[in-house]
Amino acid sequence: MRLFVALDFPDAVKEALLNLRAEIPTARWSNRAQLHLTLFFIGETERVQDVKTALETVKAPPFTLALSGVGRFPKGDHQPPAVLWAGVENPPALRVLHEQVSGVLTDLGYEADRRPFNPHITLARLKASRPLSEADAFLKMHHDFRAGPVELVEFVLFSSELSPQGARYRREAVYPLTLG
């Protein structure tokens, strides 16, 4: 089973994200069910129960999160963009949650992303052949995007099934964020 751990958002936040869609002919925009903030990508595993049990040990408080701005990956000025994303304000509680989730999963032997944690919500994937001007126009038009704040009280273990129409996600387990 292909798994990842993420924060899910209420419909009002997802609606604000969906409203960012722009006319970029070759963009594959994320649908409502695909809008999330990945904390840890596990990948293919048969150790689903071990993952679920490990995530039960994560103790992090609920927190407020606001979405802020848009960007692209890769970030280089001369590289064609592959992903358009919405950013988030990065409160300390989000970093604590990310560190705890990463810690319990790396203890199980899963490899953490080597890149620094850059919390974001993927809005669209672009074909590499698209001109920079399309992405730049999108970024300019939505540079002041804001949504939330929203109180986050849980994180989710999702499974992912890939298809030609895009990934389909299913909630496998939900974990409360608690103070104690």
Query: Cα–Cα distance between 51 and 56 in angstroms, integer?
Result: 9
Show the 3-state SS of 129-161: CCCHHHHHHHHHHCCCCEEEEEEECEEEEEEEE
Q: Known catalytic residue: 120?
A: yes
Residues 101 and 74: their CA atoms lie apart, in Å, by 25
Pairing state of beta strands 28-29 and 168-176? unpaired
Signed CA dihedral, 113, 117, 121, 124: sign only: negative
Is 36 tagged catalytic? yes
Is-contact 156 8, C-beta < 8 A? yes
Question: Per-residue DSSP letters for 46-77?
Answer: S-HHHHHHHHTT-----EEEEEEEEEEES--T
Contacts of 115 (CB under 8 A, 6+ apart): none
> Which residues carry out catalysis?
36, 120
